[in-house]
Amino acid sequence: MKFAYRVDGRDLTLTLEKTPSGYRARLGDAVHEVEFIGVEGDQIHFRLDGESVRARAAAGPGDRWVALGGRTWRIEKAQAARRAHDAGAGGGQVAAPMPGQVRAVLVAEGDEVTQGQPLLLMEAMKMEIRIAAPRAGRIAALRAAEGATVNKDDILVEIT
Amino acid sequence: MPSGPPAPAPPFARLLIANRGEIAVRLIRACRELGISPIAVYSEADADAPHVRLADAAVLLGPPPAAQSYLDMGKVIAAARQSGAGAVHPGYGFLSENAEFARRVEDAGLVFIGPPADAIARMGDKAAARALMEQNGVPVVPGAQALPDDSALAKAARAIGYPVLVKAAAGGGGKGMRVVHKPGDLAESAAAARREALHAFGDDRLILEKYLAHSRHIEFQILADRHGNTLHLFERECSIQRRHQKVIEETPSPLLDDALRRAMGAAAVAAARAVDYTNAGTVEFIVDPDTRAFYFLEMNTRLQVEHPITEAVTGLDLARWQIRIAAGEPLPFTQDNLHQRGHAIECRLYAEDPASGFLPAAGRLLHFQPPSGPGVRVDSGVQTGSEVGVHYDPLLAKLIVHAEDRPAALQRMQTALAETIALGLATNREFLQDVLAHPVFIAGQAATRFIEDHLPDWRPQEIPAAALIAAALAELHASVVSGRPPADSDPHSPWARPSSFRLGGGR
C-alpha cells in the first residue's frame, strides 16, 4: 500500500507491505519493521523495529494530525494538498493567508497592478496584514468586499 | 460533622461575567468560591462554549462579531439587569478598559469589578498618562505626544532619534503599534497605525516613543482597596513577545535584584496613586538591561492575562480580591506581609502558525488534552470539539507552572508542554518548547526582540518515520472500521480491500 503524504510542504511517500508479523515500512531508503498492536480512542500503539510507540492521531477533513514524543505534525494527504495548492498558487489567484476580515480593498476590477502592489488589507484580531500582488497584471476579479469575513485560502483577487 | 466558622455572606448574589473563553471560566470559579452565582454572556459562535455551560445562567448577546455581542455595552448591561446581577466583571480585552462602560455599569446601579471610570480614562489616554507620570516623578520613555500631522510626527521622530515606536494614543494590547527604523517608512507606518487605532479604539491619535531594541518588559501587579491601601504584588517579566504580544511570562524576573525591585515597585505604586487607582491593575515598564534604568510604558487598568503567575508566587487569588475590593473590603495585609515564593512561568498556547508569521489558525479542535500534575495549572476555555473561530483571540489555554526555583520551573513547563495534546489546528506549542530550550532564555537574558533576534526563521522539526507510520496505520484502521479502502493508497493493491487483510495480523 502506498501512502502519499505532504508534511510542511514536502512530499513523502510511505509504503507498507504485509509481513507475517505486521508490515514492512519503506520511506525513502529506510526500511522499518512494524507490528501493529491496537487503537484505543485516539491512541495508536505499535512496535517500530521492536520499540514500542504510542502516538495520538486525529483525522481532519484533508489531513491527519499526529502527536508523538511531545511534538505534533500535520500530515496532509498529497491529493488534498495538491488541490489546495493548485487553487491558491495558480499564478494569478491571490488567496487569504489567514482567516479574518477584509478591512480595505485598494484596487478595482480592471486596474493594472505591479508586482508587490498592495491589493487589500486584512485584519484578524490584533493584526493588519497587507495582501500584495504576486505578479504584475490586470485585476480580472475581486472576490472580497470590504468588511467581508473570509477563511484561510479563500480566493480574494484574480489577476490576469 | 465538624464545621469551621460560618462562611461570610457573599458580597453579591449574582455577578455577570462580560467575557468569554478561559478568563470567563476562571472568573466563574472565583464566583463559586465566594458563594456568588455566576452569569455568563455569549455570542452565537459560543453557544456550546465551556463558559456558557459552567455558569448558572447565560444570556445571548447577538451574532459572532464582537461589535454586535461582547463589545455592545447596551446589550451587556441589559443582560446584567435582566439576570438580576449586582455586579459586572469585564475580564480582559473587550470592554475591560472602556471608561464609558465602567460609568454606564455604575449608572445602572451595578458594581463594576475594576477601577473607577476616571482612573481608566486617565490611564487609557497614553498621551495624558505620559504627562501625568512625568509630573509624579515616574520615569517615562523619551518620546512625544500631541502630534497633529505627519510633519509634526516626522519632526518629533527626528528629535527622538530612530528607531521610534508609533503607538495609538488610545491604545493597548499591541494594536496600532509599529516600529519605524528609518524616516522613509514613517508615513506609511503611521497611516497603518492610525487605521488600526481608529478601527480598534475609534481614535486615531498617535504618540511616539524611542524604540529601545534590547529592552526588557517588566510589569508590576497592583492591588489597591477603597480605603487608601495601595500595594504591589511584585513583578512579571514578559519579554518574550511576538507582534508586541506576550507569549511567555515569568516571575520573579531574572533581571531584577532586590534594590531595583523595590525602586520599581515604589514607582508602580506612585503611578497607581496618581490616578486614585483601586482594584487590580498592572503598571508596565521597560528596563534597559545595560543601564538598569526603567521607564513607565502604560498602566493596564484590568486583570492581566498573565495574572496566574503572580497568584502562584504570592499565594493570593487576584480574581477573588478584585471582587472583594469592589464590595468594599479592606486589604488585611501590608506590603511587608507580601513575599515571592518560588518561581512561576506561564505559556500561552495559541492557535497560530509560528512558521508563517504567527498567523492565527481557525478550525475544529479535534483533540485537546491539557497537562496536569504537581505545580501545574491550566486555564482554558476550549475542549475537544471546540470550534476556534476568526472573531476572537486565538488563545486556547494558558499553562502555568510553579516550582521552587527557575530551573525547576523550566523543567516543569517543558514537561507540561510535552504532555499537552492539541490536534486539528496549528498551535505554537513546539515554538514555546524551543524558546524555553534556547540558551539565551535559559540564561535569563531574553529581551523583547528575542524572537526576531534568535528564532526569526523558526521551522518545526522534521517528521520522524514513526509519526508517518502512525498516520498510515491510523488511516488503515479507520478504513477497516468504515469498510472503505484508505483514500490515498493504491486502489489496485490487494491490501486495500478490507476483506483481504486483517490489520495487525489477527491480533
For B208, the 3-state DSSP assignment is strand
* Same domain membership, residue B220 and residue B191: no
Q: What is the pLDDT of residue B499?
A: 37
Establish if B2 belongs to a structural domain. Answer: no
Of all residues in chain B, the one with the smallest CA distance to A60 is B424
* Same domain membership, residue B230 and residue B188: no
The contacts of residue B266 (CB under 8 Å, 6+ apart) are none
B366 touches chain A (CB under 8 A): yes
Establish if B226 belongs to a structural domain. Answer: yes
Count CB neighbours of B213 within 10 A. 12
* Same domain membership, residue B157 and residue B193: yes
* Same domain membership, residue B223 and residue B330: yes
* Same domain membership, residue B383 and residue B321: no
User: Given the DSSP bridges, would you call strands B37-43 and B14-17 parallel, antiparallel or unpaired?
Assistant: parallel
Q: What is the pLDDT of residue B8?
A: 73
Number of domains chain B is built from: 5
CATH number of residue B201's parent domain: 3.30.1490.20
**Residues in chain A closer than 8 A to B466 (CB atoms):** 48, 53, 55, 68
**Residues in chain B closer than 8 A to A72 (CB atoms):** 421-423, 427, 429-430
Of all residues in chain A, the one with the smallest CA distance to B175 is A126
DSSP annotation string for B469-501: HHHHHHHHHHHHHHTS--TTS-TT-GGGSGGG-
Establish if B279 belongs to a structural domain. Answer: yes
Distance from CA of B495 to the nearest CA of A (A): 7
* Same domain membership, residue B239 and residue B203: no
* Same domain membership, residue B274 and residue B202: no
Residue B64 domain boundaries:
14-113
Of all residues in chain A, the one with the smallest CA distance to B64 is A149
Distance from CA of A73 to the nearest CA of B (A): 7
Residue B471 to residue A3, Cβ atoms within 8 A: yes
B67 touches chain A (CB under 8 A): no
Establish if B129 belongs to a structural domain. Answer: no
Q: What is the pLDDT of residue A121?
A: 87
For B89, the 3-state DSSP assignment is strand
Degrees, nearest 5: CA angle B428-B66-B107: 125
Which positions 276-305 of B are in contact with A (Cβ < 8 Å)? none
Cis peptide bond upstream of B252, omega within 30: yes
Q: What is the pLDDT of residue A1?
A: 87
Residue B468 to residue A5, Cβ atoms within 8 A: yes
Residue B421 to residue A72, Cβ atoms within 8 A: yes
* Same domain membership, residue B94 and residue B25: yes
Residue B507 to residue A38, Cβ atoms within 8 A: yes
Distance from CA of A21 to the nearest CA of B (A): 6
B195 touches chain A (CB under 8 A): yes
The contacts of residue A74 (CB under 8 Å, 6+ apart) are A7, A8, A63, A64, A65, B426
Tally A–B CB contacts below 8 A. 202
Establish if B124 belongs to a structural domain. Answer: no
**Residues in chain A closer than 8 A to B364 (CB atoms):** 60
Q: Does the ipTM exceed 0.85?
A: no
**Residues in chain B closer than 8 A to A35 (CB atoms):** 504-505
**Residues in chain A closer than 8 A to B470 (CB atoms):** 44, 46, 53, 55, 57, 66, 68
Residue A152 to residue B361, Cβ atoms within 8 A: yes
* Same domain membership, residue B226 and residue B277: yes
Cross-strand pairs, B60: B42
Establish if B354 belongs to a structural domain. Answer: yes
B470 touches chain A (CB under 8 A): yes
Distance from CA of A90 to the nearest CA of B (A): 20
Residue A12 to residue B468, Cβ atoms within 8 A: yes
Q: Is the torsion defined by CA of B463, B466, B472, B474 positive or negative?
A: negative
Q: Is the torsion defined by CA of A26, A32, A33, A39 positive or negative?
A: negative
For B507, the 3-state DSSP assignment is coil
B1 touches chain A (CB under 8 A): no
Residue A71 to residue B430, Cβ atoms within 8 A: yes
* Same domain membership, residue B220 and residue B325: yes
Residue A70 to residue B418, Cβ atoms within 8 A: yes
CATH number of residue B395's parent domain: 3.30.470.20
Of all residues in chain A, the one with the smallest CA distance to B393 is A125
Residue B470 to residue A71, Cβ atoms within 8 A: no
| DSSP designation for B445 | -
Q: What is the pLDDT of residue A81?
A: 63
B198 touches chain A (CB under 8 A): no
Average pLDDT, chain A: 86
Residue A123 to residue B362, Cβ atoms within 8 A: no
Residue B417 to residue A70, Cβ atoms within 8 A: yes
Separation of alpha carbons B404 and B143, rounded Å: 40
* Same domain membership, residue B107 and residue B47: yes
**Residues in chain A closer than 8 A to B501 (CB atoms):** 18
The rounded average pLDDT for each run of 10 residues, N- to C-terminus, in chain B (507 residues) is 66 96 98 98 96 98 94 98 97 96 98 98 91 94 87 92 90 77 92 86 87 92 98 98 93 98 98 98 96 94 98 98 97 98 98 92 93 98 92 94 98 98 96 98 96 94 96 88 58 39 42
CB B367 within 8 A of CB A55: no
CB B134 within 8 A of CB B143: no
* Domain-ending residue, one of B310, B340, B370: B340
- Alpha helices of B125-250 — where are they, by DSSP H? 126-135, 150-160, 186-201
Establish if B479 belongs to a structural domain. Answer: yes
Q: What is the pLDDT of residue A125?
A: 57
Domains of chain A: 2-81 (3.30.700.30), 91-159 (2.40.50.100)
* Domain-ending residue, one of B306, B340, B374: B340
**Residues in chain A closer than 8 A to B385 (CB atoms):** none
* Same domain membership, residue B76 and residue B151: no
Cross-strand pairs, B471: none
**Considering CB atoms only, which of A2, A56, A100 is closest to B367?**
A56
B467 touches chain A (CB under 8 A): yes
For B503, the 3-state DSSP assignment is helix
Establish if B224 belongs to a structural domain. Answer: yes
CATH number of residue B57's parent domain: 3.40.50.20
Helix (H) or strand (E) holding A134: none
Reported as a pLDDT band with limits 50, 70 and 90, residue A95 is confident
* Domain-ending residue, one of B340, B364, B379: B340
Q: What is the pLDDT of residue A79?
A: 76
CB B59 within 8 A of CB B1: no
Phi (first) and psi of residue B346, to 5 degrees: -120, 135
Residue B465 to residue A48, Cβ atoms within 8 A: yes
